[in-house]
Structure 1
Amino acid sequence: MLKDPYQYHPEDVAEPPIGFWNILRRIGPGMILAASIVGSGELIATTTLGAEVGFAALWIIVISCLIKPAVQAELGRYSIATGQTGLAGLNEVPGPRWKVNWIVWGWVVMVAMTRFQIGAMFGGVALTMHAIVPAISITAWIFILLAITLALLLGGGYERIEGLATLKVCLFTMLTLLCAILLTRRSDIFHWSEVWQGFEFQLPGSGLATAVAVFGITGVGASELFMYPYWCVEKGYARYTGPRDGTPAWKHRAHGWLRVMNVDILATMVIYTVATAAFYLLGAGILHKLHLVPKSNETISVLSRMYTETLGEWALPLFYIGAIATLYGTIFAATAADSRVSADLCRLMGAFQSEDYAARIRYRNGFVWVLTIVPVILVLIFQEPVAMVKAGGVAQALMLPVISIGALYLHRKKMPEAAKAGPLMSLSLWIATITIVAAIGYYAIRTFLG
């Protein structure tokens, strides 16, 4: 019988690791998140923004990656300290509700829109596979990928997902970073003075919609913020801490496992920030100079120029391998997480009891089917990967202020006193929330006023 990771088990209570290397061995949830993050947002949306506006929006990329982990940490902190899922915590925020509250319904709308992103990734991987094996049509590749995804995810546990996610992140991040380093040695097309101009905090007028989409999905996007507490629970951080009894032993374990979570967040933030910046530099330094912007069925062939222009034509197969790993890894990681949150939504609406893990798995597997088939239908209908990624990115961006305010509410009203963040982390959460609300509010007002 499978052990329910969402329930406390006395035998799971464990002392937190001591020492940096021991802590590093216990990270993992962030790697799954990084696998989801380093995907369509970086390979398609970030490079498209660089292709459209050059280096002007580099500051948006960096801020996007650096400020959201404060919100991520607070949501993870809540789950570890209380044993509750992230959606259950946000469901406690006051406001309109029908069975669940307005934030949870907002998540439902956002997930529906992010199916466009996942569909774009199915299309991107299929385009790449068709370039490698032209005898199989793009449509056929899409259905092959659908079958592979269902086979991997149905009944798949945390360990399988973490292992594949880690492999994916390491594979393409290192390759893209190498290309970005080689780009900086191309004095004919790259100048550091252009990079510094990217931190003049100017808004790229013609690329504003893309910039907001990129802000929504680079770094930790709204989808990943909802996902992270679930991976912390399934990794075991909450179970290792044990049920909250207020004893000194519990406080010691809670602070120890929260420290592990913070290292997990910091390590993966470094990874996806470096990867995202590398993608943007390639888009701005190569594609913008060549006046190439990814679109429709030309998306993969245009993006491949980032590699062939820096490494040479021989690097085209490497790009194909990297593109497949990046895009498919995100399909895999995002669908695995969204199916878990969707099942938890059903629990909150009364479909099954918290302790009924068999029912949770049935609902999770049911949503795996829905969350993979719907994107396939969308990409077959629209066949426009860049526009589909932007649509999902804007939906995530609009949800960012909501989840940030929700995290702030949990921080102030629902967090156990013994597990509350220190002054520096609290200040970071306030700064992140204010920045996100201001940025997305500015975009909404500017869009509304035309």
Structure 2
Amino acid sequence: MSQDEESTTATVRDAPTTTMGILRNVGPGMILAGSIVGSGELIATTRTGAEAHFDFLWLIIIGCIIKVFAQIELGRYAITNGKTTLAALNEVPGPRLSLPVGKRRATVNWILLYWFLMFLAILGQQGGIVGGVGQAMAISVPLTEEGKAYNEQVAQKIVRDVKKAESANASSEEKHALKAEIAQLEAELETQGSIPKANDDVYWSLILTLAAIFLLVWGKFSFIQRFSVFLVAAFTLITIANLFALQSYDKWSVTAEELRRGLSFGFPAAEEGSRNPLITALATFGIIGVGAAELLAYPYWCLEKGYGKYVGKRDDSDAWAHRAKGWMKVMHWDAWGAMVVYTFCTIAFYLLGAAVLGRSNLLPEGSEMIQTLSAMYQPVFGSFTQNLFLFGAFAVLFSTFYVAIAAQGRLAVDVAKVSGIAKLDETGRQQGLRWMGVVLPTLSVLCYVFFPKPVVLVLIAGTMQAIMLPLIGFAVLYFRYKKSDERLQPNKIWDFFLWLSFVGFLIVGIYQTYAKLFQ
């Protein structure tokens, strides 16, 4: 029997107690990692490193760790009550809105109203991600002559900028050689004229969206889990190896002083006429590690894995409490294990962005995003850089697009049920997921087609998710103190960190709101 069938027909059973048994039952966290490493780490984190250099390393690390407490609380509520995230959030007290939708009335509370706005921004974010995959493919396999010419000129431009950064710390002999190379590159660029317009990235984005639609309609939990783990693991290992190899180059190595500065809770100064790095960092905070979107999606993957069915319907028996505690332990392993994976990956991307992009004054943006990001691998891998990075970018970004759309499809179907728009049994839910597997990728890629600025799309969604975090934090505290089973309540140390995460969410949310309204 497949894992998907087991999740559907599972009866209550005790959780495994051995380490190997627990490891065989983890999985939801790695699905999240598959959707995290792309937009948060590869795009937003490197951009923050490029702008803030090493100063915000501390904020990046906190952003990865602090959200896990809320993640586990949402998972706790889901598997012990058998309720999805949106159903749970709709129980939080506060203003409610009821509107006629056809012959039914949709009734949602204030948190779900904001979630819908964030959901729309996330579609744009996924458009930026599939656009990034399209850029990677357009570089690897250009479809037009304009695309080939565009790739060559952008690549030369980036090589020139990296050479300029190298010359800043080079010896006098090396500077002379580098100046000659830079002059030659600039002469070639001047001869070629302006960079030609090419739409190969758009064409590839449309092709890849069709591939994603096929996988979304056909794929199920076990396939999504294996697919995500393979792609993320491959590029994570390459990235970490690249960072360590970079230490052998004096011009690019990360020094102990830079690490000390990055961990000293300092703030970089905003340069006049440029974007405030703090704004970028806080937008990044919303999507690195477990972002707001992943926090909301995690309980769905836990339920599909079977945790809720294994625990069984909540009752007052000791057997139920024993099962719930056991599967909560499995979920802790799952959540914290995934956190270790994506935190190491996030740190690696941030340091690469600061060490290479920051020193080269390169900012990944627009249709040059992927070409610019590939510069992080150039000092170590040289001429092999592009092929290596393009494989990694495709692996991570396509995995992110695929997994994130799968998660958002589940929330989109669920909100129809939770709000009262539709009454869905399991058959109706599966049919809805197949429809969402077509509709959501299509809407996402159209965002990129009409607004081909992937970094902007990702950071807009990051801002919306950062504002969503305090709402989630409030809901989590409500579940903890008003809805949790006394037999499963955590200790005071856990409560302290839960409150600490809420305070962190609140600060980020308030600052982002203020920045958007008044700056």
Bin for the TM-score computed over the shorter chain? over 0.9
Report the more deviating stretch, 50-59 or 324-333. 50-59
Q: Post-superposition shift, 1:182?
A: 1.4
User: Does the aligned pair in 1 maintain the 2:357–2:375 contact within 8 Å?
Assistant: yes
User: Does the aligned pair in 1 maintain the 2:125–2:460 contact within 8 Å?
Assistant: yes
Measure the CA separation in 2 of the matches of 1:448 and 1:241: 45
Measure the CA separation in 2 of the matches of 1:398 and 1:209: 13
TM-score by length of 1: 0.95
Measure the CA separation in 2 of the matches of 1:96 and 1:15: 40
Measure the CA separation in 2 of the matches of 1:237 and 1:155: 23
- The answer to whether 1:255 aligns with 2:263 is no
Q: Which residue of 1 aligns with 2:28?
A: 29
SS in 2 for 1:100: strand
Letter in 1 for 2:413: A
* Structure 2, gaps ≥5 residues long: 98-106, 145-199, 271-275
Q: Which residue of 1 aligns with 2:81?
A: 82
Segments of 4+ moved more than 6 angstroms: 2-8
Distance 1:7 1:27, change over 3 A: closer
* Structure 1, gaps ≥5 residues long: none
Letter in 2 for 1:106: Y
- The answer to whether 1:104 aligns with 2:112 is yes
Report the more deviating stretch, 179-188 or 382-391. 179-188
- The answer to whether 1:17 aligns with 2:80 is no
- The answer to whether 1:207 aligns with 2:206 is no
Q: Which residue of 2 aligns with 1:124?
A: 132
- The answer to whether 1:40 aligns with 2:48 is no
User: Does the aligned pair in 2 maintain the 1:119–1:376 contact within 8 Å?
Assistant: yes
Q: Post-superposition shift, 1:138?
A: 2.2
Measure the CA separation in 2 of the matches of 1:257 and 1:107: 28
Which aligned pairs between 1:12-411 and structure 2 lie closer than 5 A?
12-98=11-97, 99-135=107-143, 137-190=200-253, 191-204=255-268, 205=270, 206-353=276-423, 356-411=425-480
Letter in 2 for 1:116: G
Q: Post-superposition shift, 1:139?
A: 2.4
Measure the CA separation in 2 of the matches of 1:13 and 1:218: 35
Report the more deviating stretch, 80-89 or 195-204. 195-204
Q: Post-superposition shift, 1:415?
A: 1.4
Q: Post-superposition shift, 1:8?
A: 8.4
Which residue of 400, 418, 433 maps to 2:502? 433
User: Does the aligned pair in 2 maintain the 1:79–1:233 contact within 8 Å?
Assistant: yes
Letter in 2 for 1:221: G
TM-score by length of 2: 0.83
SS in 1 for 2:55: helix
Measure the CA separation in 2 of the matches of 1:8 and 1:250: 20
SS in 2 for 1:312: helix
User: Does the aligned pair in 2 maintain the 1:155–1:361 contact within 8 Å?
Assistant: no
SS in 1 for 2:14: coil
SS in 2 for 1:94: coil
SS in 1 for 2:16: coil
Measure the CA separation in 2 of the matches of 1:173 and 1:139: 27
Measure the CA separation in 2 of the matches of 1:388 and 1:126: 15
How many residue pairs were aligned? 447
SS in 1 for 2:53: helix
User: Does the aligned pair in 1 maintain the 2:124–2:457 contact within 8 Å?
Assistant: yes
Aligned-pair identity (%)? 40
Measure the CA separation in 1 of the matches of 2:4 and 2:389: 40
Q: Post-superposition shift, 1:448?
A: 3.9
